Chains A and B, each alone.
Chain A
Amino acid sequence: MEKFVGYTFQELLKALIGFIDVAGLYLALTQLTHRNISQNHKFQAVGLGWALADSVLHRLAPLWVGARGLEFTWDYILQGLEANANLVLSISLAALGSLIWLRKNKPKTLIPIIYACAGIVATMPSITSYLRRGLGWHFPKVVGFELFTSLVMAFISWQLFSACQRPYV
């Protein structure tokens, strides 16, 4: 019983972090308008910056303390790959976010798809922790899954972005 309560508390915290990601991206995309950047570059810059901050905060401390030990583990290499996937996911989330909040004229048919993809990408942390804990996947498998989904999501958001770029009637 206690384990279950602890489990859900951690999951809640992770979902909260995901929500904060979205909120932070929203802020960065909409509130920081002191430069005249085109929409294209804006989401790239925001996505990159966000992913960098996320990686540093999340992975620098364990890397510094743990990777200097005597024993070699593959964990830190896998964490690096995970950071790569995280970068792609952050950029795609920023792209979708910029589509949702910055572009006011979108084709109606694409709107639900955009929101769905944004939802999936935003809840990625919860999904990965569910895979690790609930289904008991090992770390390499989880990282592989993350890389795959990040590429898929990037492709989808790229298509959506270019679809919204096309001037339409």
Chain B
Amino acid sequence: MANSKKPGGLREMLESMYSVIALLFILVACVELCDAAAAVDVYRLIQYDMSGSPFGSRFAALNHHAASLHFPPGVDLSRTVLIIPLRELNITFVREYINQKNPLGGLLVLLPEVLSFKTGGNKQVHEKEKMKNLLAELERLLVHSNIPYPVYFAFENDEIDTVLADIKKNDLMGQPATATTGGYKFVIPTAEPKKVASPTMTNIQGWLSGLKTDGDANQLPTIAIVASYDTFGAAPALSVGSDSNGSGIVALLEIARLFSLLYSNPKTRGRYNLLFGLTSGGPYNYNGTQKWLRSFDQRLRESIDYAICLNSIGSWDNELWIHVSKPPENAYIKQIFEGLSNVAEELDLKVGLKHKKINISNPRVAWEHEQFSRLRVTAATLSELSVTPELLESTGGLFDTRQYVNETAIVRGVKLVAESLARHIYGHQGKNIQIFADESSLAVNPAYIRSWLDVLSQTPRVAPFLSKDDPFVMALKKELAGHVDEVNVQHETLEGIFTFYDSTSARLNIYQVASVTFDLLLLLVLGSYLIVLFSFLVITTRGLDDLISLFRRPPSRKLKTA
């Protein structure tokens, strides 16, 4: 009785244990699955069409062997990925290679880790100017070329440094990696890049109403302060644009904050409306600003006294420039310039005036104020740049990271603009009254500027890749709404001559592959091991004759039948 019960119970327990065992084995299998080769985050070069002509890197998927710059001369690189760290980059070599349209499997540029906004942090950059110039040149070359193979950027870290050292060692020994000699294989498994369907530009505007007394029949005059917030660069996933135009955004937010403090009290509210504009589409001839202005009511547009556009005010020492398109003799321009120069003198810095005429037939819009001037609104751009930037230049590229911005410069810029605005609004021109004095309740807040600059330096903001309800745009809107009376958001489509393609970042898998000869050798070794084991077992259990008889069976049968 007891005997028959026991095995039955044991059987049931065993059956329930099978599921546990199966689960455990699956777990063990899963653990083995995740154990892959090295994997690195990589960021693709931008791919875009301008007026139908293709630019940038036209491919995204990658599956080739890797080689360094020390490849033996004369070897075919059409199925190889060149991995080049920035410090060894020879720009003339790259330029010639691209211009001669030499075939290449792919290009991976390794940027120094200090430039990464995820891991680099605020460490100091060595040889700032040299790196900035090299990166600017590289960016200019890559953005304006049509490259028929994938180009990626990655940040150096320990893993990839060891891989690179290994590759260099192999190359110097004269064995570039191919299918038969083994080496490293770079694989990026992404789909083909597709066009971005309807890229949106989002303009955010904030309105601070001035004090309207009963006697005012007409609308109050308005002063506009505008900054464009989107960027463009060689690697759109890395275009954080700390200076162009992160500094402008931060300055605009701080000015909005200061004036909201002044305007919150009816006794200190000025007789001017303030219009703050955070526009998109900056790199594309200020397309967003144009659409924003076109959407204005005629009366509103006519009520704008003047507009100040902020563009790159983050890394200057002592001199700022005011760019205008109306001639300097114009009364309004004189007024703006004098207002700013007076304050500048007190703050111990210089402002210069630069005049650039607009050509209505030329679609190129180099400065934001030109969009205002085309609609007959007086405007000027305050910038540290003295030379007019070319198309897709100074729009926040690879080198425009947090380390290249100086927050003291932004603080001084904010003081300059805010003071001159306040003097114009309250009629204190020429008088030496400091409204936004340090140590007062209206002092410029460097901590506010620093925290927003840090946030901006970690957010890539290329307009076609920002969706309609992108969290960063919503955050900007919310921040502006905290300072002004009314906030409006305008969504426009980025039409015109630009078309963009997606797939801006991916994960690179680095595999160390063995050559075919190694595989064959291993097969041979294992085969012989199994044969030896089998023969050994047969000999020890059945005797040598049985082993030999395995190969002689047919003749013995014939003998038997005969």
User: Least Cβ distance of A46 to chain B in Å?
Assistant: 15
A70–B28 CB distance below 8 A: no
**Given A20-B17, A70-B511, A13-B24 contact (CB < 8 Å):** yes
- Chain A residue nearest in CB terms to B515: A72
User: Least Cβ distance of A60 to chain B in Å?
Assistant: 9
B37–A71 CB distance below 8 A: yes
B514 touches which of A65, A66, A72, A80 (Cβ 8 Å): A72
Contact pattern, B 161-185, Cβ under 8 Å of A = 1, otherwise 0: 0000000000000000000000001
**Taking the complex as formed, is A110 at the interface, i.e. its CB lies under 8 A from any CB of chain B?**
no
Contact pattern, A 22-63, Cβ under 8 Å of B = 1, otherwise 0: 011001000100000000000000000000000001100110
B32–A65 CB distance below 8 A: yes
A20–B511 CB distance below 8 A: no
Say which size band chain A's interface belongs to: 20 to 34
**Please, which residues of chain A bring their CB within 8 A of the CB of B514?**
72
The number of A-B residue pairs with CB atoms under 8 Å apart is: 53
A58–B25 CB distance below 8 A: yes
**Please, which residues of chain B bring their CB within 8 A of the CB of A72?**
512-514, 518-519
**Taking the complex as formed, is B7 at the interface, i.e. its CB lies under 8 A from any CB of chain A?**
yes
**Please, which residues of chain B bring their CB within 8 A of the CB of A69?**
36, 511
**Please, which residues of chain A bring their CB within 8 A of the CB of B7?**
27, 31
Distance in angstroms between the alpha carbons of A98 and B17 in the assembled complex: 24
User: Least Cβ distance of A22 to chain B in Å?
Assistant: 12
**Taking the complex as formed, is B526 at the interface, i.e. its CB lies under 8 A from any CB of chain A?**
yes
**Taking the complex as formed, is B550 at the interface, i.e. its CB lies under 8 A from any CB of chain A?**
no
Distance in angstroms between the alpha carbons of A4 and B255 in the assembled complex: 56
**Taking the complex as formed, is A163 at the interface, i.e. its CB lies under 8 A from any CB of chain B?**
no
**Taking the complex as formed, is A17 at the interface, i.e. its CB lies under 8 A from any CB of chain B?**
yes
**Taking the complex as formed, is B26 at the interface, i.e. its CB lies under 8 A from any CB of chain A?**
yes
A20–B37 CB distance below 8 A: no
Contact pattern, B 391-430, Cβ under 8 Å of A = 1, otherwise 0: 0000000000000000000000000000000000000000
**Please, which residues of chain A bring their CB within 8 A of the CB of B512?**
71-72
A17–B24 CB distance below 8 A: yes
**Taking the complex as formed, is B476 at the interface, i.e. its CB lies under 8 A from any CB of chain A?**
no
**Please, which residues of chain B bring their CB within 8 A of the CB of A13?**
24
B513–A71 CB distance below 8 A: yes
The prevalent SS among residues of A at the interface is helix
**Taking the complex as formed, is A151 at the interface, i.e. its CB lies under 8 A from any CB of chain B?**
no
**Given A58-B28, A70-B185, A70-B187, A65-B511 contact (CB < 8 Å):** no
- Chain B residue nearest in CB terms to A58: B25
B513 touches which of A65, A70, A80 (Cβ 8 Å): A70
A20–B28 CB distance below 8 A: no
**Please, which residues of chain B bring their CB within 8 A of the CB of A77?**
522, 526
Contact pattern, B 294-320, Cβ under 8 Å of A = 1, otherwise 0: 000000000000000000000000000
- Chain B residue nearest in CB terms to A72: B514
A20–B21 CB distance below 8 A: yes
**Taking the complex as formed, is B33 at the interface, i.e. its CB lies under 8 A from any CB of chain A?**
yes
Distance in angstroms between the alpha carbons of A66 and B33 in the assembled complex: 6
User: Least Cβ distance of B15 to chain A in Å?
Assistant: 12
B32–A62 CB distance below 8 A: yes
User: Least Cβ distance of B488 to chain A in Å?
Assistant: 51
A71–B511 CB distance below 8 A: yes
- Chain A residue nearest in CB terms to B31: A62
User: Least Cβ distance of A161 to chain B in Å?
Assistant: 15
Distance in angstroms between the alpha carbons of A80 and B25 in the assembled complex: 17
**Taking the complex as formed, is B14 at the interface, i.e. its CB lies under 8 A from any CB of chain A?**
yes
Distance in angstroms between the alpha carbons of A27 and B21 in the assembled complex: 17
User: Least Cβ distance of B304 to chain A in Å?
Assistant: 62
**Given A61-B29, A65-B29, A71-B36 contact (CB < 8 Å):** yes
Contact pattern, B 10-53, Cβ under 8 Å of A = 1, otherwise 0: 11001001000110111011001101110000000000000000
A20 touches which of B11, B14, B33 (Cβ 8 Å): B14
Distance in angstroms between the alpha carbons of A27 and B28 in the assembled complex: 26
A24–B14 CB distance below 8 A: yes
Q: Nearest 3 A-B pairs (CB), nearest first? A: A61-B29, A70-B511, A62-B32
Chosen A-B contacts, 17 in total, with CB atoms closer than 8 Å, are: A17-B24, A20-B14, A20-B21, A23-B14, A27-B14, A57-B25, A61-B26, A65-B29, A65-B33, A70-B37, A70-B187, A70-B513, A71-B36, A71-B511, A77-B526, A80-B526, A84-B533
Given A66-B33, A69-B36, A80-B526, 17 more contacts at CB 8 Å?
A: A20-B17, A23-B10, A27-B10, A57-B25, A58-B25, A58-B28, A62-B28, A62-B29, A62-B33, A65-B29, A66-B35, A69-B511, A71-B36, A71-B511, A71-B512, A72-B519, A77-B526
Binding site for A on B (CB under 8 A): 7, 10-11, 14, 17, 21-22, 24-26, 28-29, 32-33, 35-37, 185, 187, 511-514, 518-519, 522, 526, 533
